[in-house]
A and B are shown apart, each in its own frame.
Chain A
Amino acid sequence: QLQLHESGPGLVKPSGTLSLTCTVSGGSLSSSHWWSWVRQAPGKGLEWIGEIYESGSTNYNPSLTSRVIMSIDKSKNQFSLRLSAVTDADTAVYYCAREKVVVPAVYFDYWGQGSLVTVSS
């Protein structure tokens, strides 16, 4: 059974950089899937941040693209998110998720448990 697990600091200072890693177990990153980050501010809905393919190709949400970098380390079966210049608006639960592609469908079939990141001094 595929499992995803987010890890990283739970507290980031304003103007700092948020860094999270998603570790995939029970399956391989090299499985022709896109891997995404989705966040959820407290009491709010879901916001897609971006996606990365096993090749390292990325697509980002235009609302965040100037601050986001995603990377992948297939040797560790991990992919990562860096979000720079954070403000309290970036306080959220951050989820990593696998995208299932059944052309033309693209949906998120496996999710991590979520990692709460609070931006505060």
Chain B
Amino acid sequence: DIQMTQSPSSLSASIGDRVTFTCRASRAISNFLAWYQQKPGKAPKFLIYGASNLETGVPSRFSGSGSGTDFTFTISSLQPEDIGTYYCQQYDSLPWTFGQGTKVEVK
């Protein structure tokens, strides 16, 4: 299985801050990576595929980058509604695997 490791596990930032966190794959996965946002008590919401392609309707303040084993997710200006936990997911090979999540909180 491909192990996905996210860091940090949590972060605290102020509204308007630029927020960045990472996801690392245990082996190279090209750009076969998706990102999800999950709010407490809710199902995950799909945001990005192909490491950097935003799903239709996802705010442009969200972005992703990376290839191979190292990936980054960025929120250019943190908004109150962005609070939640973000997960990366690889789709290079079965079984599909997720990172353990990065929890984003407001300072």
Task: Please give the residue numbers on chain A whose beta carbons come within 8 Å of chain B beta carbons, in ascending order.
Answer: 36, 44-48, 59-63, 95, 97, 100, 102, 104-109, 111-114
Contact = CB atoms under 8 A, between A and B. Distances in A.
Contacts of B89: 46, 107-108
B32 interface: yes
Contact of A105 (B50, B95, B100): B50
A107 B97 contact: no
B43 A46 contact: no
Q: Which secondary structure characterizes the binding site on chain A?
A: strand
Interface string B39-52: 00011111001100
A48 B98 contact: yes
Interface in B21-78: 32, 34, 36, 42-46, 49-50, 55
B59 to A, nearest CB: 17
A47 B32 CA distance: 18
B62 to A, nearest CB: 15
B98 A62 contact: no
